Chain A
């Protein structure tokens, strides 16, 4: 595989990741609008849960790498 072809493969991979992150962000937004803005108790659960998932996975990345 030439350097140019591997570059294109790399770009295609990154594209897929970006689109997945986009979909994930839409889901998170729906979650925010429904739970956080809609209901006080579930909103708290959602925020704390989301925070744990977000920073927990960042910590996991750090430990693995």
Chain B
């Protein structure tokens, strides 16, 4: 690898400081923009699509009844006012943020004091990461969350406390788990400031210089007051989060599987074990190597910051899930990924056999990237195939009846002109949306009695997953037994979750 860097043509390129970062960022941008709107929206994204169509007050009310803060919806609402609500338009803010994060990442790497080669390697890892690409093509807030982490970290490194305040507020208003990063970055800011007081290699601190902490304290105070209005709403939301139906219990295996997702997102089934094994190995190696360097007194401050920002958010989420309620989920952990890339690049760049490492890694990268773009098992469900089928076979007066809100939100995006209604559940949390949110969104909830008098022909969409309530399953079963029905199609998204579309002949009022 050293020979590669030293060869004449590359030496010329390396001397120009912008050439390599520009090439890598361009590759990253191309990978993020390629096939941006190729896959259909999935549930979470279609929820965004619905929210941005609501008037601002209804949107805020619907958000207050759900599990996320409002900033992402406000941003997407303003962009969709200009660009419309096609898949590409809804995903555009994430794409721009994802590309911008690459550049920001490189800047921070330089401020951290990483060597140029290490920083370029880290940038390369971030640029080609399927996980990063996936969330740059998702109409959700995760790239914004990562942007918040990067901005706040940059603010600490440059001691810009107003930027720190803004970054902290951005984190909290983007995602409820933004507090994981705020707590971590506060610890980093405290350590960095403490280091400033003591001064590099000057031994014990100067008397009374703790006043240097006051900007940090003031920044936190501003963040507190700035977040207070939404903080009150958050107390209500935590009741919804408590249901946590989409968050699995946390075990050691869950932590390891989340780690694999952070690199590759979903791996092709064929190579899952190999990729996981290599990923876990690489991460342990990177952590061990940086720990070993700290122990030797090498790059101590930088590596401490990286280890802290990689481990602390996960550790807090893990502990909170054990003693409080499940909050450990891979998506919001996107904010630890920059540190992970720096740590891995640091460890790899210190080794002799970098070419060997590249030879092992590249085929797997090609495999996962290829499957990201072309393998349907790894991609989002292609729901428009089925909604188009319904559109073609539908007759005037048909009703689309959803057993739960999951399919309602998604089908509403692809069939907005048809009569969509949702089954009124016993307990609204069973289908993931509170009554308050459903009301603000203007979702029409019906009982079976309402449905029967409404239409002759009913398309029943029954999406089931492991947390589907027994009440819902029983009601749908008895509905199917009472009226003549025809199963149109069953779409399996995995071995435990599937969607079945039925056509029911109710012969109702008309």
Q: Which residues of A contact B (CB under 8 A)?
A: 3-4, 6-7, 10-11, 14-19, 21-22, 24-26, 28-29, 32, 36-37, 47, 51, 54-55, 57-58, 61-62, 65
Contacts and interface: CB of A to CB of B under 8 A. Distances in A.
Interface of B: 248-249, 251-254, 256-257, 269-271, 273-274, 276-278, 280-281, 284-285, 288, 352-353, 356, 360, 363, 464-468, 495-496
Contacts of A29: 281, 284-285, 288
Contacts of A10: 495-496
Given A6-B496, A18-B257, A25 B281 contact: yes
Given A22-B252, A25-B284, A57-B274, 7 more contacts: A14-B253, A15-B252, A18-B256, A21-B280, A22-B280, A24-B277, A36-B353
Contacts, number: 78
Contacts of B285: 29, 32
Contact of B281 (A18, A28, A62): A28
A18 B253 contact: yes
B276 A18 contact: yes
Contacts of B284: 25-26, 29
Contacts of B465: 3
Contacts of A58: 270-271, 274
Given A4-B467, A26-B284, A62 B270 contact: yes
A51 to B, nearest CB: 7
Interface of chain B, main secondary structure: helix
Contact of B248 (A6, A11, A47): A11
Contact of B274 (A7, A36, A54): A54
A21 B255 CA distance: 13
A7 B253 CA distance: 15
Contacts of A54: 274, 278, 360
Given A4-B466, A6-B466, A36-B353, A25 B280 contact: yes
Q: Which 8 A-B pairs have the closest CB atoms?
A: A15-B253, A7-B466, A25-B281, A18-B253, A18-B256, A25-B280, A4-B466, A21-B277
B89 to A, nearest CB: 35
